[in-house]
Amino acid sequence: MKQLSLLLLSFFITTPLYAASGEENYKAYCWQCHGMQGDGMGINIENMSVQPRDHTDRKSMSARSDAELFKVIKEGGLSIDKSVLMPPWADVMSDAEIKAIVKYLRKLCDCS
């Protein structure tokens, strides 16, 4: 019983109430620019000075490491000398959630 309580307690401590899956967070925060299909064709792109990355582009996505993708999501485009239009999402998602998005990006590009 004590072990079960500790297990439940650790679940609530390590799982923030607001946490969501990589796919869910991608839908909420990334679709607007990167598009519903991840092809960079989101509803916001018409007046953008720099077009969002196509996450289904295997070649360009393969050129980015997981660490770079994690950094750009967490700290924004400027952190890797890219566009200011890509904002930092550190205050919205935990590191674990951002890692889940990186994993989801690898699924979209079918690349590593």
Q: Which residues sit at the interface with another protein, rule CB under 8 A?
A: 17-20, 24, 27-29, 31-33, 35-37, 41-48, 76-77, 83-92
> Minimum Å distance from CB 6 to another protein?
23
Buried b (16+ CB within 10 A) or exposed e, 53-63: bbbbbeeebee
Q: What torsion do the CA atoms of 40, 97, 24, 104 make, to the nearest 10 degrees?
A: 50
> Minimum Å distance from CB 45 to another protein?
6
In the bound state with another protein, the residue whose beta carbon lies nearer, of 1 and 11, is 11
In the bound state with another protein, the residue whose beta carbon lies nearer, of 6 and 16, is 16
Sign of CA dihedral 25, 26, 28, 33: positive
